[in-house]
């Protein structure tokens, strides 16, 4: 091993090698380093991107009391769902409504299989008018919903670190944003938490029937009978069944505290992707993160239909709401 000597000091050769390597890495593009860290890097090109200014700039250390955005709402849409996006912008997602609760809505889309030029022109015009679309270069399909969520969580981690909460929902969901704000305010300053309708644990929804094979819950009985729930938890009727997924929150609408977002972004690019978007992000990725508190509340939709418009007064999310009904609910909910 060679050494570098001067009049005053002797430096081992390995020290110089480490120093030179460090300087080289300093000059390596950050994006390239990030790509090399991931087993399944989400590096689809962003065709339409509002950038960091959408949330007032990336300010991770900004005090929550003065944060520019209280909640970032990520809405999974589709390239041909302009009518749904316009319905949201004119109802619960209007500028006035969002400003009142320091919220932002970002619509998530991919690219069409056909007639790309026609749709791309329309999307570009819509983006120029509203500036609230994130489009990435993958096929816009139901099978790629997981990719949409991975890309959105990555975008939020990079561009909206000051948001206290990040919510994922769909463009056929009516969001009672006032009820959501009240709910989150009542939860205080909880960390490492995901709120929503837990679909497959004993404390969650009956849709589907709960499985008892997850997270230290009682196993199935040998005769196929239904085990009793742990003491203090309600009994859920029905026939239990095994599931490959850990408990997860329904994709109709779940909320994640901001401290989890960077971690979930990294994990989602380092484990095998499955097509069940909500199970992937709030189940498998959350389990890999560890020590994640999942809070179930029936005011979050688990997929059930809203029977009466006035039911939305006491719910946070309502499922399968058409653009026409969205406007009806918005115009009449204050009368309920």
| Angle in degrees, 0-180, between the axes of helices 82-89 and 116-130, rounded to the nearest 10 | 10
Tokens of 148: 């949409």
The pLDDT of residue 230: 46
| Residue 216 scores a pLDDT above 90 | no
Mean pLDDT of 14-26: 42
Is there a contact between 27 and 136 (Cβ–Cβ < 8 Å)?
no
Q: How confident is residue 220, by pLDDT bands cut at 50, 70 and 90?
A: very low
Q: Which domains does the chain have, with CATH numbers?
A: 46-199+248-335 (3.90.550.50)
DSSP letter assigned to residue 319: B
Tens of pLDDT, residues 170-211? 999 999 999 999 999 999 999 999 999 998 765 555 444 333
**The overall pTM is greater than 0.75:** yes
Residue keyed to tokens 């589709």: 78
Tens of pLDDT, residues 43-100? 999 999 999 899 985 444 444 444 579 999 999 999 999 999 999 999 999 999 999 9
Q: How confident is residue 240, by pLDDT bands cut at 50, 70 and 90?
A: very low
Mean pLDDT of 303-315: 93
């Amino acid at each position: 091993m060679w050494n570098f000597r001067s009049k005053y000091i002797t430096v081992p050769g390995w020290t110089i090698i480490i120093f030179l390597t460090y300087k080289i890495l300093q000059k390596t593009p950050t994006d390239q380093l990030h790509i090399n860290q991931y087993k399944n890097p989400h590096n689809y090109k962003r065709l339409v991107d509002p950038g960091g200014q959408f949330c007032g700039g990336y300010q991770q250390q900004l005090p929550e009391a003065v944060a520019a955005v209280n909640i970032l709402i990520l809405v999974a849409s589709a390239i041909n769902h302009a009518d749904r996006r316009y319905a949201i912008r004119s109802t619960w997602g209007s500028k006035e409504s969002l400003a009142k609760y320091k919220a932002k809505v970002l619509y998530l889309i991919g690219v069409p299989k056909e007639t790309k030029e026609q749709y791309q022109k329309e999307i570009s015009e819509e983006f120029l008018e509203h500036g609230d679309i994130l489009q990435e270069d993958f096929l816009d399909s139901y099978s790629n919903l997981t990719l949409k969520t991975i890309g959105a969580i990555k975008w939020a981690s990079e561009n909206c670190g000051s948001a206290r909460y990040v919510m994922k929902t769909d463009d056929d969901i009516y969001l009672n944003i006032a009820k959501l704000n009240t709910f989150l305010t009542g939860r205080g300053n909880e960390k490492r938490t995901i709120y929503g309708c837990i679909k497959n644990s004993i404390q969650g929804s009956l849709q589907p029937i709960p499985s008892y094979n997850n997270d230290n819950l009682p196993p199935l009985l040998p005769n196929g009978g239904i085990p009793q729930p742990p003491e203090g938890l309600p009994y859920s009727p029905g026939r239990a069944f095994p599931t490959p997924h850990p408990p997860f929150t329904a994709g109709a609408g779940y909320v994640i505290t901001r401290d989890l977002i960077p971690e979930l972004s990294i994990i989602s690019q380092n484990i095998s992707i499955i097509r069940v978007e909500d199970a992937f992000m709030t189940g498998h990725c959350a389990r890999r993160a560890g020590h994640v508190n999942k809070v179930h509340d029936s005011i979050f939709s688990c997929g059930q239909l809203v029977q009466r418009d006035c039911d939305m007064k006491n719910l946070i999310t309502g499922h399968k709401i058409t653009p026409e009904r969205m406007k009806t609910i918005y115009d009449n909910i204050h009368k309920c």
